[in-house]
Amino acid sequence: MSTPLKTKIQVPRSRDLEVNGVKYNRSGASRSNFEMLAWLFMRLSGIVLVVLVFGHLFVNLMVGEGVHAIDFGFVGGKWANPFWQVWDLVMLWLAMLHGTNGVRTIIDDYAERNVTRFWLKVLLFLASGFVILLGTLVIFTFDPCPAGADPELLASFCHTV
Amino acid sequence: MSTAVTENENQDVQQESSSEAIPTYDVTLKVRRYDPEFSEDAHWDEWQLTMYGTDRVLDALHKVKWELDGSLSFRRSCAHGVCGSDAMRINGRNRLACKTLLKDLDLDKPIMVEPIKGLPCEKDLIVDMEPFFQSYREIMPFLVNDDHEPTYERYQSQEDRERFDDTTKCILCAACTSSCPIFWTDGQYFGPAAIVNAHRFIFDSRDQAGDMRLEILNDKEGVWRCRTTFNCTEACPRGIQVTKAIAEVKKAVFASAL
Amino acid sequence: MQVHKYDVVIVGAGGAGMRAAIESGQRARTAVLTKLYPTRSHTGAAQGGMCAALANVEEDNWEWHTFDTVKGGDYLVDQDAAEVMAKEAIDAVLDLEKMGLPFNRTPEGKIDQRRFGGHTRDHGKNPVRRACYAADRTGHMILQTLYQNCIKHNVEFYNEYYVLDLIMVDTPEGRRPAGVVSHDLATGELHVFQAKSVIFASGGAGKVFKTTSNAHTLTGDGMAIAFRAGLPLEDMEFVQFHPTGLAGLGILVSEAARGEGGILRNSDGERFMERYAPTIKDLAPRDIVARSMANEVREGRGCGPHKDYVLLDLTHLEPAHIDAKLPDITEFARTYLGVEPYTEPVPVFPTAHYCMGGIPTDIKGEVFQDSETTIPGLYAAGEVACVSVHGSNRLGTNSLLDINVFGKRAGIYAAEYARDAEFLPIPDNAAERTEALLDNARSGHGSEKVGAIRKDLQDTMDLNMQVFRTAETIEQCLADIAALEERYANISIQDQGKRFNLDLLEAVELGFLLQLAKVMSVAALHREESRGGHFREDFPDRDDEKFMLHSMVYEDPSSPTAGIRQETKPVIFTRYEPMERKY
In three state form, how does the secondary structure of C380-445 look? ECCCCEECCCCCCCCCCCHHHHHHHHHHHHHHHHHHHHHHHCCCCCCCCCCCHHHHHHHHHHHHCC
Q: Could you list the pLDDT tens digit for every one of the 583 residues in chain C?
A: 899 999 999 999 999 999 999 999 999 999 999 999 999 999 999 998 999 999 999 999 999 999 999 999 999 999 999 999 999 999 999 999 999 999 999 999 999 999 998 999 999 889 999 999 999 999 999 999 999 999 999 999 999 999 999 999 999 999 999 999 999 999 999 999 999 999 999 999 999 999 999 999 999 999 999 999 999 999 999 999 999 999 989 999 999 999 999 999 999 999 999 999 999 999 999 999 999 999 999 999 999 988 999 999 999 999 999 998 999 889 999 999 989 999 999 999 999 999 999 999 999 999 999 999 999 999 999 999 999 999 999 999 999 999 999 999 999 999 999 999 999 999 999 999 999 999 988 888 889 999 999 999 999 999 999 999 999 999 999 999 999 999 999 999 999 999 999 999 999 999 999 999 999 999 999 999 999 999 999 999 999 999 999 999 999 999 888 899 999 999 999 999 999 888 8
Domains of chain B in sequence order: 23-127 (3.10.20.30), 130-257 (1.10.1060.10)
Q: Which of A2, A5, A13 sits opposite B188 (nearest CB)?
A: A13
Query: Which chain A residue has its CA at the smallest distance from C152's CA?
Result: A22
Inspect the interface and report whether the beta carbons of C107 and B158 lie closer than 8 Å: yes
The verdict on A10 touching B (C-beta cutoff 8 Å) is: yes
Q: Which residue of A has its CA nearest to B183?
A: A109
Distance from CA of C148 to the nearest CA of B (A): 5
* Mutation site for A-interface testing, chosen from B30, B186, B216 by largest number of A Cβ within 10 Å: B186
User: Is the CB of residue A91 less than 8 Å from the CB of residue A49?
Assistant: yes
Partner-chain contact B13 C450, CB within 8 Å: no
Does the pLDDT at position A150 exceed 90? no
Residues of C with a catalytic annotation lie at 286
List beta partners, residue C190: C183
**C-alpha A92: how far from its chain's center?**
7
The subunits that touch chain C, with at least 3 C-beta pairs less than 8 Å apart, are A, B
Judging contacts by C-beta atoms under 8 Å, the chain B residues touching residue A25 are 134, 138
Amino acid at site A52:
L
- The answer to whether residues B62 and B74 touch, using CB atoms and an 8 Å cutoff, is no
The answer to whether the Cβ–Cβ distance between A2 and B257 falls below 8 Å is: no
- Interface contact A20, partner C, CB < 8 A: no
- The contacts of residue A135 (CB under 8 Å, 6+ apart) are A89, A92, A96
Looking at the complex, report in whole angstroms how far the Cα of residue A35 sits from the nearest Cα belonging to chain C.
28
ipTM for the predicted complex: 0.94
Distance of CA A44 to CAs A40, A41, A68, C381, Å?
6, 5, 33, 58
Residue of chain A nearest B130, judged by CA positions: A11
Which residues, in sequence order, are CB contacts of B18 under 8 Å at separation 6+? none
All domains in chain A, ordered by first residue:
32-160 (1.20.1300.10)
Structure confidence by residue, pLDDT tens digits, C493-512: 999 999 999 999 999 999 99
To the nearest whole angstrom, how far is the Cα of A5 from the nearest Cα of chain B?
Answer: 7
The shortest CB-CB distance from A31 to any of B117, B215, B227 is to: B215
- Across the beta sheet with C126-132, the strand order is C50-51, C126-132, C113-121
Compute φ and ψ for C293, nearest 5 degrees: -65, -45
Angle at B92 between CA B91 and CA B97, to 5 degrees: 60
Of the candidates A5, A36, A40, the beta carbon closest to that of B42 is on A5
For the cut 50, the answer to whether the pLDDT of residue B8 exceeds it is: no
Cβ of A21 under 8 Å from any chain C Cβ? yes
Q: Which residues of A are less than 8 Å from C154 in CB distance?
A: 21-23
Q: How confident is the model at residue A14 (pLDDT cuts 50, 70, 90)?
A: low
Q: What is the DSSP letter of C230?
A: T
Q: Which of A7, A19, A20, A22 to mutate to test the interface with C (most CBs of C within 10 A)?
A: A22
Q: Could you report the per-residue pLDDT of C351-392, keeping only the tens digit for each?
A: 999 999 999 999 999 999 999 999 999 999 999 999 999 999
d(CA C218, CA B77) in angstroms, rounded, equals 8
Whole-angstrom distance, CA of residue C154 vs CA of residue C515: 36
For residue B96, give how far its alpha carbon lies from the nearest alpha carbon of chain C (Å).
12
Is B184 within 8 Å of B229 (Cβ atoms)? no
pTM of the model: 0.92
User: 10 Å Cβ neighbour count for C513?
Assistant: 28
Contact flag A10-B182 (C-beta cutoff 8 Å): no
The answer, for C419 touching chain B at a CB cutoff of 8 Å, is no
Question: Which residues on B lie below 8 Å from C503 (Cβ)?
Answer: 65, 70-71, 73
Q: What is the C-alpha separation between B236 and A40, in angstroms, rounded? A: 28
Confirm or reject contact between C494 and chain B (CB < 8 A).
Answer: yes
| Chain B residue with minimum CA distance to A104 | B225
Q: Which of B36, B185, B216 is opposite residue A109, by nearest beta carbon?
A: B185
